[in-house]
Structures are given as C-alpha cells and as structure tokens.
Structure 1
Amino acid sequence: MLAKPAMAAIWVNQYTGEVMGKYDRPAVFKVASAAHRRLFGKSKAEGAFGAITGKLAIGITTIALLMIIISGLIVWRPSKGHVRNKFKISITKGTYKFLYDFHCVGGAVSALIITVCILTGLNWSFGWYRKLLYSTFGTEVAETTSHKTPAENFPAWDYAYSKLSSEYPDKEIRMYQNEADIVVGGCGNQQATDTYKINPANGEVSSVTTYEDKAESNHIKGWIYSLHVGSWLGWLTKIIYLVCVLIGAVLPITGYYLWIKRLILKKCHSA
C-alpha cells in the first residue's frame, strides 16, 4: 500500500525490485468515499487531518435522517386489521397514488436496514457517540490498527507467507513487519482475524492470538463495520442492503413530490 494516494498499491518483486503491477482506486469510488465520509473533505492519507466540518455535517444529517425514519414509521403504522393494506402499492390509480404507496411501503421495508447503517455510521462521525456505543457493550473504544508497519525483511516475509498460505490456502492473509492477520470471519464479523506474531529476522511464527482471545472491543469494531456495509452474511446481505439504500435514496424525491403536490392541491381547493 502507498501512503498517497489513498487505497493505492503497487506489487514489487522483493528480490529484483521490478514493479509487477499497480492498483489505484477508480475515481468514481474516490469521489463517493469522500462524499460519504467527509462531504468531499480530504483524508489523512491525502495530507489533511480530516474534514471536520464535513464529518460534522454528515453526522448531523444522519441524525436528522434517523428522526425522519422514526416519525415516518409512526405516521405509517398500520391500524388493527389493516396491516396487509399498508404493504400494497397501487399501479392503476395514477402517479400520485403510486408514489405515495411506494414512499410508505418502501420506507417501512427499508427502515430497519437504513437504521442499522445510521446507528453504526455515526461511529465514524462523533467521538462521543463512539465512546457511548462501545460503553453500551461494556468496553472501551478499540485501538486503531489500520496503519500497521509493512513488511521490510522480504526473505523472512516470503518464508512466513509461504508457510501460512500452505496451512490456510483458502484464507485471506495480510502480512506486516512483525505479524500476519488471517481473516477467519465467515458468517458474521467479516473483520475477524487470527494474528500471528512473526520473527522479522527469520519469518518464524512466535505466537498466535486467535480472534476469540482478542479484546471485546476488537470484536465490536469488526461487527460495527460488517453491519454498516452489509457484509455479515456475504453477498446475500450486500444485495439486501443495496436494495434498501437505493429505496432510501429515492424516498426524499418522492417525499418532496408528495409535499409539493399537496401544496398545489391545497392551493387549488382554497381558490
């Protein structure tokens, strides 16, 4: 991985120095990430501490979205004996009726997933919320370990990787200077890893810390990420999350349409 730009990497033959390949994140994902996380502010990797104002704006609007979802569910809640009707979308009674039904049903169906994304996403917007979230589970905020020192002794690194990959051929292995992480997350926490301490001089494994033996805060950190991005059941939950967030993206449009339409109708009736 390169220090700059963010998420960029090159593959180098550690014996000859030949560049074997390179990767740079597509521009569309860079823009989407900057908008989603920092409202187009720069990241630490790009030479900035972070767009504090952007993160604050994202956090405030996220809380506002949560309030809208809660109030929307209260307004939508079905009365006794009319539950089935609340989940019907009419396609034969005009545009207004269709969009009204879609807004109500779509909002109700996607509310749970969007709420999960909100409650986990606020973890990255506010320090006080992050502390509150972790303390709710009886632990402290997990230490950040995303910037581990890359491997430098390449023969030792190569030996350690070859040994681990032969033992775990189907697992993702992340190599660092003094340790290696083997991703063991199946269904559930996709960030779960066993950590192997490695002697940087010869590549021998000196100790192993399994995921179960790691601090509870490490478990919570992985679960927060997995729940936020919808990876906890693999592609199944990713597809469900995608559908729900697409519906969520349409809801403001339908909401404004219904509101403006009502204003027009109200004005016509009062004329």
Structure 2
Amino acid sequence: MTGNKNMPQKKKIKDSLFIRINKWLHLWLGLVSGVIVLIVCLTGCIWVFNEEINGLLEPETKVEKQDKPVLTPSQLSAIANQLYPDKIPSYANYQQGRTINLNLKNKVEKEGKGAGRRGGGIQLKINPYTGEVIKTVVRKKGETDFFRFILNGHRFLWLPYEIGRPIVNYGTMVFVILLITGMIWWYPKKWNKSTTEKSFKIKWGASFKRVNLDLHNVLGFYSLLFLLAIALTGMVYGIKWYSESLYWVTSGGDKLTEFRRMESDSLQANKHYTLRQAMDLGWNKVITSHPRSQGFYYNFPDTSKVKATIDITVYPNTGQFYNSKGYTFDQHTLAELKSDNVYSRDYEGATIGTKLRKMNYDIHVGSILGFPGKVMAFLASLIGASLPITGFLVWYGRKFKKKKTKPLHQKTLEIKEPILKHKIMKNVITIIVGMLLSFTTTQIFAHALWIETANSGKIGQPQSVKVFYGEYATNERDSVANWYSDVNEFSIWLIGPDQKKSQLKLISQTSHFEGSFTPNQNGAYTIIVSHEAKELGGTTKYHFLSSADVMVGKVLPAIKQNPNILKLHTDSLSSAKVNKVFQLKVFANDTASKGKIVSVSSPNGWTKELTTDENGLIEFTPLWAGRYVVEVTDMDRTPGQHHGKDFKATWKGATYSFEIN
C-alpha cells in the first residue's frame, strides 16, 4: 500500500496546439452553425427528387410521344390569350413525354417587384400535340407550392432574402471547414484493429452514447467527399468572390464574365417579321438543329419592350443541365445574338473551367451521375442533416454528464492518447488538401489516353490494338464523341524491330478506337501516340502521349524505339507476373527523370503513387492479374503560341499499358 501511495503518477499527455485548435473550431463552429446545416441539408435532400415526385403526383401530365410536331410558341400564346386575355406568356417548359408547362403573368408583372416566382400567376399544363389544357394551377401573390417552399428554406431559411441568403452562403462555408476539421479529428492516432473498427464500423449493440458517436464519426467519414462536393458547388451560387476565384483556378487564369442581357435592335422593329412569325421561326430553327433533345425552355419576349429578345435553352438529356445550349435571337431580324456568358457556351467545345461551371448544378444535386448520383446526393444530404444532431448529443453528453464519485481504490489513472506524430499530421493535411484539389480541378489532369494490346504476339497473327480516353482506375471510358477537344483525331504509329515507322489505321467504336497489325518478324514492336489537343485549357496546352510494347519472341523493347518526349519504359515485360517485382523508368527528352510522381492503376481500381529515384526508376509488386496502366505527368512553364492562341504552360501526360499474368 505504501509503495502504491508513493508511486509517481504518469503525467497526462496533452494534444498538440494544432489538434486543440482543430477541436475547438469543430466544436464551436458546429454549435453555431448546427441549425443552419440541419435546415439546408434536410431541405436539400428533399429537393433532389422534386421532378420525380411531381411526376408521380401528376400522372395526368404524362403524354405519350407522337410522330407529329409539337405546338409552336405562337400557338401557345394564342391559347393563353384566349383563356386569359389579361395575361401574357412568360416562359414555357417543353419536356419529352410530359405536358408543356406554360407560365402566365400579369402584363405589368413581366419584370419588376411584382414578378418572380412569388409574384403570383397561372400555369397551364398543355398537351403538346392537341393544345388541350390538362391542368390549370392558379397561384396568388406570395403563394408557393411545396417544393418551392422547400427551396426557399434551402436558399434563405424562409427569412427575408437579403438576410437569409448570406447566412446560408457563409453557413455553407463554415460547413466546409467543419468537414475538414472533422476529418482531422476522425483520423486515428494509431492504425490497429481497434481503431480501424471504431473508424469504419458502427457498433450497433453498444450503448446509446457509443452508437451516437459512431453515427457522427463513421457516417461523417463515408459521406465526406459527397458533402464537400455538394457544399463547394453550392457556394458558387451565393458567394461572388468564391465563384470568381474557383473559375479562375479551374480555367487556368480566365476571368468569369459578368452576365449581360442581350438586346434586340430596336431600329429594325416592324421591318422584317411580326412577333408571332419571329417566335416560331426562331423556335423552328432551334428544334431542327436539336431533334433528339429531351427538353426546351422558351422565354417569351416582353411585348412592351422593343429591345426584348427571344431566348431558348436546349436540354439534350432528361434531368441534366450541364450540356445545355442557349440561343438568343433578335425579335425583329431573327439574327442570333452571341453571349460570352459561361452558361451560354457550347459544352462540347468549352474549356475545362467552363465545363466544370456548366456541370456545377448537376454536381450539386448528383444528377451528373444520373439517377444513382441523385440517390447518393440524397443520402449524403440526409447524413449531413444528422451530423449537427449527433454532434450536439456528443457534446451535451460530455459537458453535462453526471459524475459519480468512486472509492479511492477503484480510481484509475486517466491517460490521454498520445499526440499525433508530425508525420501523421502531415499525411492528414496532405489528404485534406488533395481531396479539395481533386474536386476543384476535376478533369483538368484526371483524364488520359492509353493503349491496350497484349504484351506478346506471334508472326502472321493479327495483334489487336485499342485506344481509350478517360480514367482507367475508375473504369471510366469516355464516349469517343465526348473526348476532349480534338483528341479523337490522334494518329497512332507502329515502330517495328527494324525501326521502321508506319501509321496504324483504327476504326472508331462507341468508347474507343480499334484496329490491328500483323507482326512479320521476331523482335519488339512499340506502339505510340503523341497528340497536342487543339483547344487550350485556359492558358494551358495539353499534350497526350501513350505507348505500349509487344514482344514477338523473347526480345525486349529498346528505349530508342519510343521517340515520345515523355515516356515510360520497362525491361520487366517478359517477366510480368503476380507477386513479382515490376520495374519502370521515366524518360523526359530521352533522359532518365528523377523525382517524378508515377501513378500505377491496377485492374481492380487500386491506385498507388510512386516517385522515381535518381535513375528515374520505380518498382512495385503487382498483386492482381490483368491490365495495369501507368501514368506520369509533367508541366512545362515555357510560354508560346498554339493554333494562334497564347499559352503559358504545357501539360504533358504519358501512359504505358501492360498485362500482368
């Protein structure tokens, strides 16, 4: 007893200053913004399926597609004028398989304080082929339907707009900080079986406090990337400086142009077409150019303004907006007016920054991945709504728990967990920064071109060759029509054992190009692609390079057979087997390149990044049989001109593909 009494007690180990600040921020920012996050996330997960739910609740609005033209805007205007002569058409929504939603407003409310979605009005649901009014919805000023009520809560908490909107905007920014600090707090101090189970599994049979803590930590981790994507895209709509900065980063330094309303030439009024003629001619021009589109939005010109324009938006896919295309016509001359607004640009020919901005809403609601993406957005938002509740319960339970006094002999020393080592914290920060960068620069350096062919061949037997574009690690192979810029116009070359170079002819398939060649002698054959995309990404030129080797016999490929300025080479091709070390070298301008980060992607989606040593060498041990794709990138800061446009840097991405047996 005496020995125990005099035994020196172990000192409690305190968290580092960084961890204490991180925990303090997570706690108090969470308590302050909890209600905001709860409302925004809950209303968001309800809004995600508003179109699908409305469709189910209004089965009468479903109309079978017919092989006949739909009603023109002038016909819709005539129907509206006949039923409601004191109203004017505002806009019409055409959607494949549904009635036309024609919205009417008072003539004095086309624009101004009385206008808008809460200004009242009438909506006619019209059969697009017969003109029959299926349903009429009358909305008084200030009235909203259920989903508009939900959206108002999501955007400004049902407060006055000028008050609620900034609260939601910066509350969302606080939520992003909470996600990052939560990830740092979640990261286990030591990776072992116990911490792994606590970090990735919910212990349903435990006490309420433990289950609640697991719900907060585990579900928060699994939904982290989805919630970051939703929050970061949401801030685009409310925080101007963030929106402009994000576009500047993702576009490579381009400035986000301000929205400018186009105007008709008032001097041409009554010289060419009547308004009804202009409305229909503009409409016919658009639908003729987009016969397969699933929806159209038609904005009627304000008859009281001679400078008003005819605006039409085309939606090629149901439920998606990223690839929409806008048209603006002069109501007097029908001349097409070109806008430099980012949302008015053609998606297919747009820069990467513009594509990301056009995808912003679809990423925000998950529809960028179709219906499965909306399900993921729904679940992530639901989890996001639960985090303030479970987090509050964790804090309340620790702050106000009843402390029972124990006898002296039952008391045990409380030893806090060790401080995170510097290396672990460095890894945490790297993970967080990496996730943020990977989101904000999606598709800038993610996509690559790669060649697929067998490692070996035989004389006289055709050797299949395929070329893909996308992301091998995630099994994403883009449709040929959607390849970046003019990448689908690449040339592919074959260099034989005799160093003779010949161009291969490949045929375009849905998601790749395919062809073959027939070896005529023993030796190594090298297949290469080197293509500079015509379109700049902001101020960056993109150079896609790829290679693959084929052995006929046991002759290994020579590095001199590949003339690409950035390439990967291996002497391990003849011994490419599972659980056997595989080596590759990186060459830039035929010189071994050290310090290059090489990404290795396996057939099951496993990806690892390795750094080349002083000899430009990396090595790894493949654990799975199948095709591997290895990629190395380089950024050359030398400026220049490309197809008449100035660029500040050249991004080079080289891939090498091979099979492991």
Q: TM-score, normalising length from structure 1?
A: 0.75
The answer to whether the aligner puts 1:191 opposite 2:322 as a matched pair is yes
Which range is displaced more, 228-237 or 218-227? 218-227
* 1:173 alignment partner, SS class: strand
> Which position in structure 1 is the counterpart of 2:211?
98
Cα separation, 1, equivalents of 2:117 and 2:186: 43
Select between 31-40 and 201-210 the one with higher mean Cα deviation.
201-210
CA distance in structure 1 between the partners assigned to 2:347 and 2:403 by the alignment: 65
How far residue 259 of structure 1 moved from its aligned partner, in angstroms, is 1.5
Question: How far 1:201 moved relative to its partner?
Answer: 5.8
For the Cα contact (< 8 Å) 1:196–1:209, is it kept in 2?
Answer: no
1:38 to 156, 178, 192: 156
Equivalent-residue separation in structure 1 for 2:388 and 2:345 (angstroms):
47
How many residue pairs match? The answer is 254
Flag the structure with higher strand content.
Answer: 2
Q: What is the DSSP-based 3-state SS (H/G/I as helix, E as strand, rest coil) of the residue aligned with 1:248?
A: helix
1:45 alignment partner in structure 2: none
Matches of 1:139 and 1:270, distance apart in 2:
65
Give me the whole-angstrom Cα distance separating, in 2, the residues matched to 1:218 and 1:111.
25
Match of 1:120 among 227, 233, 236: 233
| Deviation at residue 216 of structure 1 after TM alignment | 6.3
- Cα distance in 2 for partners of 1:128, 1:270 equals 55
Secondary structure, aligned partner of 1:31: helix
Larger deviation, residues 215-224 vs 27-36: 215-224
C-alpha distance 122-210 of structure 1, shift in aligned 2 (>3 A): closer
Deviations 1:67-94 (A, max 9, x none): 2221211111133234741211112122
| Aligned-residue identity in percent | 22
Q: CA RMSD in A?
A: 3.7
Distance 1:6 1:94, change over 3 A: same
Query: Contact conserved, 2:323 with 2:346, CA < 8 A, in 1?
Result: no
- What pairs up with 1:1-271 in 2 under 5 angstroms? 1=91, 2=105, 3=110, 4-6=115-117, 10-11=123-124, 20=133, 21-23=135-137, 26-42=144-160, 50-51=161-162, 53-78=163-188, 79-82=190-193, 84-85=196-197, 86-137=199-250, 138-144=253-259, 153-161=275-283, 164-165=286-287, 168-176=291-299, 177-184=309-316, 190-196=321-327, 198=329, 200=331, 210-213=346-349, 218-265=354-401, 267-269=402-404
Amino acid at match of 1:74: I
Q: Is the CA contact 1:120–1:228 (under 8 Å) kept in the aligned structure 2?
A: yes
Contact 1:39 1:54 in 2 (8 A): yes
CA-CA distance at 1:262 after TM superposition: 1.8
In the TM superposition, residue 180 of structure 1 has moved relative to its aligned partner by: 2.8
Q: Give 1:47's aligned residue.
A: none
**Bigger RCO of structures 1 and 2 (CA < 8 A, at least 6 apart):** 1
Alpha carbons of structure 1 residues 195 and 34: separation in structure 2 relative to 1, 3 Å: closer
- Measure the CA separation in 2 of the matches of 1:5 and 1:270: 64
The one-letter amino acid paired with 1:221 is R
Task: Measure the CA separation in 2 of the matches of 1:253 and 1:169.
Answer: 47
Do the aligned partners of residues 56 and 194 (structure 1) sit closer, same or farther apart at CA in structure 2, a change above 3 Å counting?
A: closer
Render the CA deviation track for 1:72-122: whole Å, top value 9, x for unaligned. Answer: 111111332347412111121221121111111111111111111221222
Structure 2 Cα separation of the partners of residues 261 and 68 of structure 1: 20
Letter of the 1:139 partner, please give it: D
Q: Distance in 2 between matches of 1:125 and 1:197?
A: 26
Alpha-carbon displacement from aligned partner over 1:11-55 (angstroms, at most 9, x marks no partner): 499xxxx9945456853323322222223245xxxxxxx41x322
Looking at structure 2, the residues matched to 12 and 160 of structure 1 have their Cα atoms a distance apart, in angstroms, of 23
- In 2, Cα distance between equivalents of 1:172 and 1:73: 41
Q: Whose radius of gyration is greater, 1 or 2? A: 2
CA contact (8 A) 2:296 2:314 kept: yes
Distance 1:195 1:245, change over 3 A: closer
Q: Which moved more, 1:235-244 or 1:195-204?
A: 195-204
Query: What secondary structure sits across from 1:268 in the alignment?
Result: coil
CA deviation vs aligned residue, 1:120-173 (integer Å, no higher than 9, x gap): 22222322112211111232224447x889xx9334434554565465144212
Which has the larger displacement, 163-172 or 199-208?
199-208
Is the CA contact (8 Å cut-off) linking 1:160 and 1:204 kept in structure 2? no
Q: Is the 8 A contact 2:297 2:314 kept in 1?
A: yes
Aligned partners of 1:141 and 1:217 also within 8 Å: no
Q: Which has the higher helix share?
A: 1
Unaligned runs of 5+ in 2: 1-90, 92-104, 264-273, 300-308, 339-343, 407-661
What TM-score results when the alignment is normalised by the length of structure 2?
Answer: 0.34
Mapped partners of 1:157, 1:196: distance in 2: 12
1:204 deviation in Å? 9.3
In the alignment, structure 1 segments of 5+ residues that lack a partner are: 43-49
1:178-236 CA-to-partner distances (Å, cap 9, x unmatched) read: 3532223589x733223445574697989997433457665343222221122111211
Per the alignment, residue 46 of structure 1 pairs with none
